[in-house]
Amino acid sequence: MRLEADLTELTRIARLAAEVIRAVYATPFAVEEKGIGDVVTRADREANDLICAALETSFPGEAVVAEESVPTDRATIEALVRQPRVFYVDPLDGTREFAARNGEFAVMIGISERGHALAGVVLLPVTGQAFVGRVGPGAAAWVEEESGARSDLRVTTERDPANARLLVSRSHRPRLVEPFTSRLGLTRLVPCGSVGVKVARLASGQADLYVHGGGGASRWDSCAPEAILAGAGGLFTDLDGERIDYADADLTLPNGIVASNGALHPAVLEAIRELRDAR
């Protein structure tokens, strides 16, 4: 099966990038500002270069959109994202957590096909765990340890928001969180860095829900996590309940993210609609 072989190769590449990241993590390193509220280190850049070179070798001629090497002109971006298959790369998701040395960061490589998330790998350099998933016929998700041992991933079945564990950003909590938690009666808030780490926890049943209010997230933040969560039985949409369009040349996610176990999704979307209507 081609997709299975592709995921094996993406996992291998992600592990190579994780070695680069761990090498930097073990030494003093500088943290630079590349935009308002957006930081970068040499680990981001070195991992980005390694992944892009490896993808070109393993998947020659295929489109790659990587955070640290995005083209500057819109025409080139449009040509890339409208290819039948696109690799979305976040070489180091959770750079602030990396800089804080709290372990909550990830290497993420996703594949979109005709605008929809198809498959992806989220690898946690600190633990060596690779979270892998695919959607469509034969959808599945699993975690692969450094030893090669695999375990299937499955989301929780929690339906009551009062019992749900909501993952919230450790470094930049959106304004939506406070009114949202109040409206749904959510009391179990779990701070966590990195979209990839959050979705790994959702897919493995360690949490039930994550909501990002928009701004600060991009399509390389969502492609691999979406595929993994869907493969584990969850749902990943924008705040209106629509699927993310990976063929859109606007690489940001202005309408946010709702990632859940699926059972909680209708209540979450309804609460968000009510909050918007009340403005």
Q: If one looks up domain 161-277 in CATH, what number appears?
A: 3.40.190.80
Q: What's the confidence (pLDDT) of residue 137?
A: 87
- 3-state DSSP call for residue 247? coil
pLDDT in tens, the chain (279 residues): 689 999 999 999 999 999 999 999 999 999 998 877 789 999 999 999 999 999 999 999 999 999 999 999 999 999 999 999 999 999 999 999 999 999 999 999 999 999 999 999 999 999 999 999 999 888 999 999 999 999 999 999 999 999 999 999 876 666 777 888 999 999 999 999 999 999 999 999 999 999 998 778 999 999 999 999 999 999 999 999 999 999 999 999 999 999 999 999 999 999 999 998 877
Output the CA torsion sign for 176, 214, 202, 24: negative
Same fold, 2-152 and 161-277: no
Give whole-number Cα distances, 82 to 72, 79, 135, in Å: 16, 6, 20
Q: What's the confidence (pLDDT) of residue 236?
A: 98
Task: Say how far apart CA 214 and CA 217 lie, in whole Å.
Answer: 7
The CA angle 80-63-107, to the nearest 5 degrees, is 115
Q: Where are the domains of the chain?
A: 2-152, 161-277
Q: What is the DSSP annotation of 190-226? A: EEE--HHHHHHHHHTTS--EEEE-SSS-BHHHHHHHH
Q: What's the confidence (pLDDT) of residue 1?
A: 67
CATH of 2-152, one of 2.40.50.140, 3.30.540.10, 3.20.20.140, 3.40.50.10140: 3.30.540.10
pTM for the predicted model, two decimal places: 0.96
Q: What's the confidence (pLDDT) of residue 179?
A: 87
Q: What's the confidence (pLDDT) of residue 270?
A: 96
Output the CA torsion sign for 103, 109, 115, 117: negative
H-run or E-run covering 169:
strand 165-169
225's torsion region: left (phi>0), alpha (psi -120 to 50) or beta?
alpha
